Amino acid sequence: MKIIIIDTACANLASLKFCLDRLGFNATISRDLKELESADKLFLPGVGTAKEAMKNLEQFNLIDFIQNTKKPLLGICLGMQILGNFSEELNQETLKLIDFTTQKFKAKEGFTFPHTGWNQVHSSHALFKGLEGAYFYFVHSYCVGLGEYTIADCEYSQKFSASVMKDNFYGVQFHPERSSEAGEILISNFIKDIG
């Protein structure tokens, strides 16, 4: 099985590859279109702003490929957020693959932002097989509200989508590569059971 991490020139590429390699999945980091087209599973990681991520994808001529791929793709953190229509962070249009808008967390007394640390996620979807009520590691100031494409939820000052899915596109707001055993199980589920 060919597993490729889409090279978005963002900070968590190496940690995701290290996690995949440790699990026995030989992953490649690439932005080469021919190589990407040969993938069986794709990962779209992201750290930073939606504007920066979209600029990089455009610069590397990856937008059309991502929008048209039929291979299972997992967006991580910002990689999930840019699967939607629009991000309120710097008012940025995104990939428009799943119908949602990324919004700033609602301020609430007693909560500090970014939402950083471990939080419980609830889901009955196959991506979360064996993980009901598991804790995952989050770092984010913007979130996706609950909606039609939510497959897992979490709560921090408000309920939000911990994971979304439409067709072959999946996204997780947390960092599975930083989420210990739960993250490893989720990555294995995506590679072995999805698509």
Q: How do the domains of the chain map onto residue ranges?
A: 3-193
By annotation, the residues acting in catalysis are 77, 175, 177
Q: Quote the CA–CA distance of 44 and 8 in Å, as a whole number.
A: 8
Choose among 27, 74, 72, 78: nearest CA to 195.
72
What pLDDT digit, counting tens, does each position of 53-64 carry? 999 999 999 999
Q: Confidence band (pLDDT; 50, 70, 90) for 30?
A: very high
- Tokens (6 digits) for 174: 């947390």
Structure-block tokens of residue 34: 């021919």
Average of per-residue pLDDT values in the chain: 97
For residues 171 and 74, what is the distance between their CA atoms, to the nearest angstrom?
A: 5
CA 188 to chain centre: 15
pLDDT at 11 over 80: no
Amino acid residing at 15 = S
pLDDT above 70 coverage of the chain, percent: 99
User: Cα(194)–Cα(71) distance, rounded to whole angstroms?
Assistant: 10
pTM (two decimals):
0.97
Q: Evaluate if residue 104 carries a pLDDT over 80.
A: yes
For 3-193, CATH number out of 2.40.50.700, 2.60.40.1730, 3.40.50.12280, 3.40.50.880 equals 3.40.50.880
Place of tokens 């989050």: 138
Cα 75 from Cα 80, distance rounded (Å): 4
Position 94, amino acid: T
165 HSE (CA, 13 A, CB side)? 18
**Does the pLDDT of residue 34 top 90, yes or no?**
yes
